[in-house]
Structure 1
Amino acid sequence: MLNLNHLGQIVILNGAPRSGKSSLASIIQESFDGVWMNLGVDAFMKMTPDRYQPGIGLRPGGERPDLEPIIEILYQAMYESIAAHSRLGLNVVVDVGHHDCYSTSRGILGHCAQVLKDFPVLFVGIRCPLEMIMERRLATWKAGYTEEGTVPHPVKLWQESVHVPGIYDLELDTSVLSPKEGAALIRERLEKDPYGTAFKQIAENDESR
């Protein structure tokens, strides 16, 4: 039986690329009490060999079915690592973009929730309108709309798939909240009740399949 009094807090920030997850994670690491480790998608992609890239960062669309079995294992490894850090009393912030838009349904989020269902997890949905996402893509990567002036299909897929099933403990709109304001709301939520219920519900839904 886990001793919840000694587990490190876990905050999982889920959203599309350029939605503001990394900025929130940085503020949490810098300003929240205790040691906060970042075990998000960027960290795990850096550890992944080139031939398996983009690893867990694979965008929606099912374009690399050859990588999908490996991605399932990588996600399990990431969440088992998160659990190990928490057991040692280390807090963990995770910036990630969960989706199930692969060549076939993989149910990865449900499997990940199973790993952490007995841990103090706050699952936070990071929402941002498509127009703002496009502005940030242009500012960061100098890449935005297609030659026809439309939003690239992969960007649309991210927006459509990353918030399915949409079960969260807290949701933040980074088009109206600054990173500091968003982090303050996360801190306030943790102070009131550090044990979220979203992952438990997602795990239960996964068990019932």
Structure 2
Amino acid sequence: MNGQVIILNGVSSSGKTTLAKAIQKYGQDIWLHVAMDTFMAMLPDGKEFEREWFPMTEVERDGEKLPQIGNGPSGENLLTQMRQLVERMAEAGFNVIVDEVADGLAIADYRRRLGTSCLVVKVDAPLSELERRERERGDRLIGLAREQSPRIHAGIEYDLEVDTHSETPDALARRVLESIS
């Protein structure tokens, strides 16, 4: 029997990892957590933003320069392998939470691979809150949430949308888990 997959999709600092941990805490079954950041961290320090992998450029929006992270050919291949791993894990009966910053094409690939065994959740918060989290964490590219916010969710139909600023991770986890019951 295939496992279930919850895809938590959102911009940087939206609360995906915190929500994933809460889902693990409240789930009656075991949920494995697969994070895009873990795949990027497989690269040697300083190599992740090279052109072949996940090149970082600057874009100008409203007179402000913002960082933008793209997918080079090796980076795109790595993320495709991550989606394939999630598919294989589900086929093996594991329940999986995916913590991802995915565009519409990647989400369509998940849906094609997983069919009805996946729940795609938009994880979001007001931009002012995302920017506050970015500053406070100290390990984020300042401006990344602002750059990603208007484009990352474009063209994606979500099964559920959550606001990590208006509800606690525990309440949101229960809501996500109720959606797959």
Higher share of residues assigned helix: 1
Cα distance in 1 for residues equivalent to 2:47 and 2:85: 20
Higher share of residues assigned strand: 2
The alpha-carbon distance between structure 1 residues 132 and 10, as it changes in their structure 2 partners (threshold 3 A), is same
Cα distance in 2 for residues equivalent to 1:60 and 1:124: 28
2:137 equivalent in structure 1: 140
Cα distance in 2 for residues equivalent to 1:78 and 1:39: 8
2:75 equivalent in structure 1: 71
Aligned-residue offset at 1:119: 4.9
Cα distance in 1 for residues equivalent to 2:133 and 2:46: 28
Q: Is 1:37–2:64 an aligned residue pair?
A: no
Cα distance in 1 for residues equivalent to 2:12 and 2:87: 24
2:122 equivalent in structure 1: 125
SS, match of residue 161 in structure 1: coil
The alpha-carbon distance between structure 1 residues 57 and 89, as it changes in their structure 2 partners (threshold 3 A), is farther
Cα distance in 2 for residues equivalent to 1:139 and 1:180: 22
Cα distance in 1 for residues equivalent to 2:58 and 2:5: 25
The alpha-carbon distance between structure 1 residues 174 and 56, as it changes in their structure 2 partners (threshold 3 A), is farther
**2:111 pairs with one of 104, 110, 113:** 113
Aligned-residue offset at 1:60: 8.8
CA contact (8 A) 1:10 1:86 kept: yes
Output the amino acid matched with 1:179.
Answer: P
CA contact (8 A) 2:55 2:72 kept: no
Alignment deviations for residues 81-116 of structure 1 (CA, whole Å, 9 cap, x no partner)? 00111111110001111137xxxxxx4443343322
Aligned-residue CA RMSD (Å): 2.8
- Superposition TM-score, scaled by structure 2 size: 0.81
Cα distance in 2 for residues equivalent to 1:59 and 1:25: 29
Percent identical across equivalent pairs? 26
Cα distance in 2 for residues equivalent to 1:144 and 1:43: 17
- Where does structure 2 lack aligned partners over 5 or more consecutive residues? 60-66
Cα distance in 2 for residues equivalent to 1:177 and 1:187: 15
CA contact (8 A) 1:7 1:119 kept: no
Cα distance in 2 for residues equivalent to 1:30 and 1:59: 37
Greater CA deviation, 86-95 or 31-40? 31-40
1:28 equivalent in structure 2: 23
Greater CA deviation, 133-142 or 21-30? 133-142
The number of residues matched between the two structures is 171
Larger Rg: 1
- Superposition TM-score, scaled by structure 1 size: 0.71
Output the amino acid matched with 1:163.
Answer: H
- Where does structure 1 lack aligned partners over 5 or more consecutive residues? 1-5, 101-106, 146-151, 192-209
The alpha-carbon distance between structure 1 residues 75 and 60, as it changes in their structure 2 partners (threshold 3 A), is farther
Greater CA deviation, 30-39 or 172-181? 30-39
Cα distance in 1 for residues equivalent to 2:99 and 2:166: 19
Greater CA deviation, 133-142 or 161-170? 133-142
Greater relative contact order structure (CA < 8 Å, 6+ sep): 2
